[in-house]
């Protein structure tokens, strides 16, 4: 019998959602180099991704008791963009830091606090506002619109997870953390994982 057999629907089928996101983002970046357009259209794509919480494999949703985790989910072959899941345990957060490229942050689970900083004329940093992002919401950063912030879990009793997209291989970019005096300390973040989720099994349906 030659009846068509539907492809199996496996537990990881939600990865097709992430595959769709990275292919749409690659098409967007193929079509424009304009940061404004990438952030505007990319934010819509990311909002769609984080509005469904059924696709992130457990391995990339694991908090660590000591510090937040940064799991690479995908890096463009030409390192034009990367997609990362940040997992924040209760009370966890980053130091004040920059990105040196455009970035989009979308909250998948829980909520996240982002405190923005700007430079004073003497080079020290001034707090410039706090945003709390909730599930499904997206925020942008870049050197053009404001690149220095401090991020933390806004949930006091639960882990939060946000999906970040950057205009480069963020774990390999030399960046800086800052103290309030504006003194910079160089860092390259790397990633917590050594293996990536397999987005490319097209026999697996969403």
Please state the residue numbers annotated as binding site for Fe cation.
Answer: 97, 99, 149
Rounded Cα distance, 19 and 17, in Å: 5
Rounded Cα distance, 171 and 69, in Å: 12
Which two tokens mark 55?
A: 């696709």
CB 39 within 8 A of CB 139: no
**Annotated binding site, which residues?**
97, 99, 149
Q: What are the beta bridge partners of residue 161?
A: 87, 109
Could you tell me the end-to-end alpha-carbon distance of the chain, in angstroms, rounded to an integer?
Answer: 26
């Amino acid at each position: 019998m030659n009846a068509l057999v539907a492809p199996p629907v496996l537990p990881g089928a939600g990865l097709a959602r992430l595959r769709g996101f990275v292919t749409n983002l690659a098409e967007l970046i193929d079509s424009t180099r304009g940061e404004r357009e990438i952030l505007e259209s990319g934010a819509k794509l990311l909002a769609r991704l984080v509005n469904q919480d059924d696709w992130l494999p457990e391995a990339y949703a694991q908090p660590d008791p000591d510090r937040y985790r940064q799991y690479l989910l995908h890096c463009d072959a030409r390192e034009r963009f990367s997609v990362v899941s940040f997992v924040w345990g209760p009370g966890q957060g980053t130091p004040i830091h920059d990105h040196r490229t455009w970035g989009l942050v979308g909250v998948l689970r829980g909520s996240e606090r982002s405190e923005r900083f700007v430079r004073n004329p003497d080079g020290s940093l001034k707090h410039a506002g706090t945003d709390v992002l909730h599930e499904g919401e997206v925020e942008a950063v870049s050197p053009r619109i404001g690149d220095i912030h401090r991020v933390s879990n806004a949930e006091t009793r639960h882990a939060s997870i946000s999906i970040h997209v950057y205009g480069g291989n963020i774990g390999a970019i030399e960046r800086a953390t800052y103290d309030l005096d504006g003194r910079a300390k160089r860092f390259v973040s790397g990633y917590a994982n050594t293996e990536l989720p397999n987005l490319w099994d097209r026999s697996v349906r969403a």
